[in-house]
Amino acid sequence: MANPFFQCKQFIVHQQQTSMKVCTDACLFGAWVAQKEEVIHSRHIVDIGTGTGLLSLMLAQVTEKSATIITAIEIESQAAAEANSNFTLSPWQRRLQLVNDSIQNYAAKNSSSNFTEQKLSDVIISNPPFFEGDLKSPDPIKNKAAHSTDLPWATLVENVAGLLSAEGSFFVLVPTLRAYTMQKLALAHQLHLVEEVLVYNDAKHLPFRAMLQFKKISSNVLRNKLVIKDAENQYTTAFTQLLSPYYLHL
């Protein structure tokens, strides 16, 4: 049984009611995004499919000296309630907003067709449902969190494009084998890949996740890799440096 909570240095994530629990790749993704300059100096961040609220809390921690507002979108009501509770327990509750709705409905009210450039989001982050056409679980709530039936990637990218400011960044975590699919969908909405980090469990295996950054302004693509564990099965220096502000025992 998964631990009912995940304790970080400055906040706690309860996850009893959420089907998709805190995992290493999500933590790594949040830490990678959190150290970006555009995040630290952002006015407004949107977290699409927040789940437990983990990514929003990580970004709230790194922007604690600013007035950054973070809006977390979650369609599943139990997960939304638990994320909102996690926000309330955190030191940053006044800057964290929970919206229990679909990104489609949220974007319809808050996109560039309704708001000026100054009202759009500087940063959008998402750890979206991965699976498409795969064998589903008997649990419909888990399916909603893990499968892209309710949020196809094309729909996700379309709504991101409408919510993102002209110089804003969209950060997304995807399986490595589907990274090119995300890149094609993003480009169709004039979102250009500017950075790709391939994530490896260890140096002996192929990468299993891709952390991607897109912008409306094209540039040369920065490509890197990050290995979680070394040959001795210990966390690498790169992993430790990113996660040490969050993990209790790093």
- With tokens 């990050």, the residue in question is 226
Is the pLDDT reported for residue 201 higher than 50?
yes
The model's pLDDT over 217-239, given as tens digits with 9 standing for 90+, comes to: 999 999 999 999 999 999 999 99
Region 40-55 average pLDDT:
96
Which two structure tokens, joined as six digits, stand for 166? 């002209």
Which two structure tokens, joined as six digits, stand for 215? 């912008």
The neighbour count for residue 178, using CB atoms within 10 Å, is 15
Would you say residue 60 lies in a domain? yes
List, in order, residues 6 or more apart from 41 with CB less than 8 Å away.
66
Which two structure tokens, joined as six digits, stand for 122? 């500087």
What does the buried/exposed string (b/e) look like for 189-200 if buried means 16 or more CB atoms within 10 Å of the residue's CB?
A: bebebbbbbbbb
**What strands lie across the sheet with 222-229, from one edge to the other?**
96-99, 69-73, 44-48, 121-126, 164-175, 209-215, 192-202, 222-229
Would you say residue 235 lies in a domain? yes
What is the pLDDT at residue 18?
80
What is the pLDDT at residue 150?
66
Domain total in the chain = 1
Cα distances (Å, whole numbers) of residue 241 to 89, 225, 245: 26, 15, 8
Domain extent for 87: 5-243
For the entire predicted model, the pTM comes to 0.90
In the chain the beta strands, taken as DSSP E runs, fall at 5-7, 12-14, 44-48, 69-73, 96-99, 121-126, 164-175, 192-202, 209-215, 222-229
Nearest alpha carbon to residue 125 among 48, 60, 59: 48
Would you say residue 126 lies in a domain? yes
Contact 217, 169 (CB under 8 A): no
Region 205-227 average pLDDT:
97
The neighbour count for residue 230, using CB atoms within 10 Å, is 13
Would you say residue 249 lies in a domain? no
Confidence of residue 77 (pLDDT cuts 50, 70, 90): very high
CATH code for the domain in which residue 167 is found: 3.40.50.150
The model's pLDDT over 143-179, given as tens digits with 9 standing for 90+, comes to: 444 334 468 999 999 999 999 999 999 999 999 999 9
Is the pLDDT reported for residue 20 higher than 90?
no
Q: How many residues does the chain have?
A: 250
Contact 35, 242 (CB under 8 A): yes
Q: 48 in helix, strand or coil?
A: strand
Percent of the chain clearing pLDDT 90 (strictly above)? 80
Would you say residue 120 lies in a domain? yes
The model's pLDDT over 98-147, given as tens digits with 9 standing for 90+, comes to: 999 999 999 998 876 666 666 799 999 999 987 555 444 444 444 444 33
Q: What is the mean pLDDT of the chain?
A: 90
Would you say residue 54 lies in a domain? yes
Would you say residue 115 lies in a domain? yes
Would you say residue 250 lies in a domain? no
